[in-house]
Amino acid sequence: MRIAVAVEALTDQVFERMMTNNVLSNLWLSNLVVGDMKAKRDGSIIFISSIGGLKSSTVIAMYGVTKAADIALCRSLAAEWGQYGIRVNVIAPGLIE
């Protein structure tokens, strides 16, 4: 799937697929492991996002939106699950050659 889609050309279907691949998949996987982590009162979840989630781009605008959502999801889970000793972090690399 191409991620460089002009905002005005973006269809609901493409955006929904991007959200599913980049955000919902992290939520689903986190929910699969959080029960065991809560029981142990320990654990670490690491998301891979992108600098695109922190800095706007004219080339990959909607990709950046989904990566910003990843970062927000990470912060929310960290706030909610931190009381159980679960760390939730995000790595947001830039362009890698």
Contact at 8 Å (CB) between 18 and 5?
A: no
- Decide if 84 is catalytic: no
Q: Which of 34, 37, 43, 63 is catalytic?
A: 63
Query: 48 falls in which pLDDT band (50, 70, 90)?
Result: very high
Percent with pLDDT over 70 in the chain: 95
At 82, list the tokens.
């931190």
Query: 39 falls in which pLDDT band (50, 70, 90)?
Result: very high
Cα gap 44→42, rounded to integer Å: 7
The pTM of this model reads 0.87
Angle at which helices 25-40 and 61-81 cross, to 10°: 20
pLDDT computed for residue 5 by the predictor: 66
pLDDT computed for residue 4 by the predictor: 63
